[in-house]
Structure 1
């Protein structure tokens, strides 16, 4: 008898619970199946492999984290993109420790993606979906430039997430973050237009 389709969401949710409390090396297919209340064979049936499931769960977790940040900004629609960016950074920092296990597993998925086409495609699709969401959240616009700006914001988020996983003292918290962003603005052209190709 084939595993039921409803097990897919249960497997992702069970994996997310594992990511919250276990180091990546202890998250086995058997542990996930037990946590999810699913048959171990349903992992292969729905995802192809345990690593592919962990990757999808990590992306689902990042999506939920973005939803938390959006909820924190729900009452500040009239503020400028700069204000929204600063407040989003504060919301991320306030929830960072709770999502440390998710961040570790996401980093492991990035490493596996180099050798696994399915995982690489899942990660890339996660970025394609997140860019317009981040652009909308920060008021960056729905055009190509807004999407590109969201890509840079995600690069900043992921880069800092990796650094803080390595050493918590590398976190950039307020008021240092605001000063650092102001310094970065000095690197950008005044008119905000792309430089002509050489």
Structure 2
């Protein structure tokens, strides 16, 4: 690996261990085996490095979940969606610092046009990936799932005992779809 990749790896490690707000440049330098000047040279600022690390770590985490889902017709759509929710909810607990950093970055994006642009582009890619991984190429499915992920993440971090379960979420999606069915009336 080169210095840039070492910095990203160190920043990802720090995000996982400390979260966004508590990670210092000294932490990153120690974890990456590089030097302070390398952060400025490759990323400009600590925040730009951490933002890149957070975006990549989040994408990697969701991709690990999606690629762990069984291929083919081993599961029907409800089972596949429930399994996805279950693995995602588990990752909120096992990768809590990373997901907390994600929420912190969303708050920072309110004040950073550059970060807003980066997160917006990542969200577009996520919608497409979620749609495909869940068995459909309709980006609206990915948009709904991604929107639910955001709310679920906040609930799981703030009060995990009261967050919806995987089964609740799948049943809720089905109930919502039934409401929009013209035969529902």
Match of 2:139 among 129, 147, 165: 147
The runs of 5 or more residues in structure 1 that have no matched partner are: 192-198
Cα drift, residue 174 of structure 1: 4.1
After TM superposition, where is structure 1 displaced by more than 6 Å over at least 4 residues in a row?
Answer: none
Structure 1-normalised TM-score? 0.82
Corresponding position of 1:53: 49
Call closer, same or farther: CA 1:190–1:11 in 2, change over 3 Å: farther
Deviations 1:108-127 (A, max 9, x none): 11111122122112111211
Call closer, same or farther: CA 1:94–1:25 in 2, change over 3 Å: closer
Residues matched between the structures, number: 182
**Cα RMSD, aligned residues only:** 2.0
CA distance in 2 between partners of 1:47 and 1:151 (Å): 30
Cα drift, residue 29 of structure 1: 1.4
CA distance in 2 between partners of 1:113 and 1:71 (Å): 29
Match of 1:114 among 90, 110, 113: 110
Deviations 1:89-108 (A, max 9, x none): 12212322111101111111
Cα drift, residue 48 of structure 1: 2.2
SS in 1 for 2:21: helix
Corresponding position of 1:137: 133
Corresponding position of 1:83: 79
Corresponding position of 2:91: 95
Structure 2-normalised TM-score? 0.87
